[in-house]
Amino acid sequence: MANWKEWRIGYGTLAAVVLLGGFLAYEAKRASVAQAAPTTKQAPKQERRGVFAEGRIVAAVGAEVTVSAEVGGRIERLLVTERDQVKAEQVLVELSATDRKAELAEARARLGEANVDMAFLEREFGRAQSLAARGVVPEAQLDRARYDSDLARARTRTLVAGIGRLEDVIEKATVSAPQSGLVTVQHADLGEVVAPGAPLLTIVDLSRLRIEVEVGEFDIPRIELGDAATITAEGYEGQALRGEVVEVPEWVTSRRLKPLDPGRPTDTRILPVKVSLPAGHSFKLGQRVEVEIGD
């Protein structure tokens, strides 16, 4: 019996030793695996690459103005032509206004007659009031004198309004420059009869040019307001101008320029980004350029 008890105690002790050894081996293996596992690190932020795109020289908003005829008529004097520099308020075109000037002279003559009539009828009304107060004339005669006086004043006001309208039309027959700039397009010729609203001349302020860059829609995330831009063009080898992104629109549109690189798709949509031009550049309005945006 004693041997059996001793055997059981020895067996239990051995089992405990085996279990403890297995547990220690498992813990050591888990610690080594945890130590060998790579530490998760945040991937470094990729630097933005430059965006290459093509564009053209355009006028800034308000820098290009088409002067139109406010009234119709024949062009009697054309004082400027294409490539002429003009200053604000300079007279550009004079439309014939002979008929309207004759109408104005006639209207002024009629106004003179109306003023004479009005003065006479007002005096008549004054006399009728005085006599009616003494009971010499009936009330109906007083009313008739009042009516004639009021009608004469109304006719005078109508003639004055008509004279003002004619004077305005004659004034609009002389067309002046709304701003300084270069005449880029002459839409009408001397002696031509134009309708109201017809274009006459296009004037561009060349000091307010910029570049409209056609950025592919997949490059939009890499464009930011204020980004630096490098501008080059064919025929200007070795010359690179610096500008910056001054406008990033909120819409995309169809491509307007056919890419010079035949490998580029022509049916993609683009973002028309605006880039400034430095002073002293020699580019021409409408010229095609290449632009790299970003460093």
Question: pLDDT digits over 66-118, tens only?
Answer: 999 999 999 999 999 999 999 999 999 999 999 999 999 999 999 999 999 99
Residue 102, SS3? helix
pLDDT of residue 4: 45
Q: Is the model's pLDDT at 43 over the cut of 50?
A: no
For residue range 138-173, what is the model confidence (pLDDT) as tens digits? 888 989 999 999 999 999 999 999 999 999 999 999
pLDDT of residue 26: 53
Is 202 in contact with 182 (CB distance < 8 Å)?
Answer: no
Is 75 in contact with 189 (CB distance < 8 Å)?
Answer: yes
pLDDT of residue 175: 96
* Rounded-to-integer distance, Cα 69 and Cα 210, Å: 29
Looking at domain 98-167, which CATH architecture does it have?
Answer: Orthogonal Bundle (1.10)
Q: Which DSSP state fits 96?
A: -
Q: Is the model's pLDDT at 33 over the cut of 60?
A: no
Going by C-alpha positions, the residue among 171, 176, 122, 173 that lies closest to residue 146 is: 122
Residue 120, SS3? helix
Angle at 33 between CA 32 and CA 37, to 5 degrees: 120
Compute the residue count for the chain.
295
Count of CB atoms situated within 10 Å of the CB of 75: 20
Is 249 in contact with 271 (CB distance < 8 Å)?
Answer: yes
Task: Supply the pTM of this predicted model.
Answer: 0.69
* Rounded-to-integer distance, Cα 54 and Cα 212, Å: 9
Q: Is the model's pLDDT at 32 over the cut of 60?
A: no
**Which CATH number describes the domain made up of 51-61+206-293?**
2.40.30.170
Going by C-alpha positions, the residue among 219, 212, 211, 210 that lies closest to residue 52 is: 219
What is the average pLDDT score of the chain?
Answer: 85
Q: Which helix (H) or strand (E) holds 152?
A: helix 139-172
| Alpha-carbon distances, residue 17 vs 9, 10, 20, 27, 29 (angstroms) | 12, 11, 5, 16, 18
Going by C-alpha positions, the residue among 55, 123, 76, 124 that lies closest to residue 293 is: 55
Mean pLDDT, rounded, for 273-288: 92
Task: Between 15 and 51, name the one with better pLDDT.
Answer: 51
Is 60 in contact with 210 (CB distance < 8 Å)?
Answer: yes
For residue range 229-263, what is the model confidence (pLDDT) as tens digits? 999 998 888 889 999 999 999 999 988 887 766 66
Q: Is the model's pLDDT at 2 over the cut of 70?
A: no
pLDDT of residue 280: 85
Q: Is the model's pLDDT at 38 over the cut of 90?
A: no
* Rounded-to-integer distance, Cα 291 and Cα 293, Å: 6
Task: Between 33 and 253, name the one with better pLDDT.
Answer: 253
**Which CATH number describes the domain made up of 64-96+173-204?**
2.40.50.100
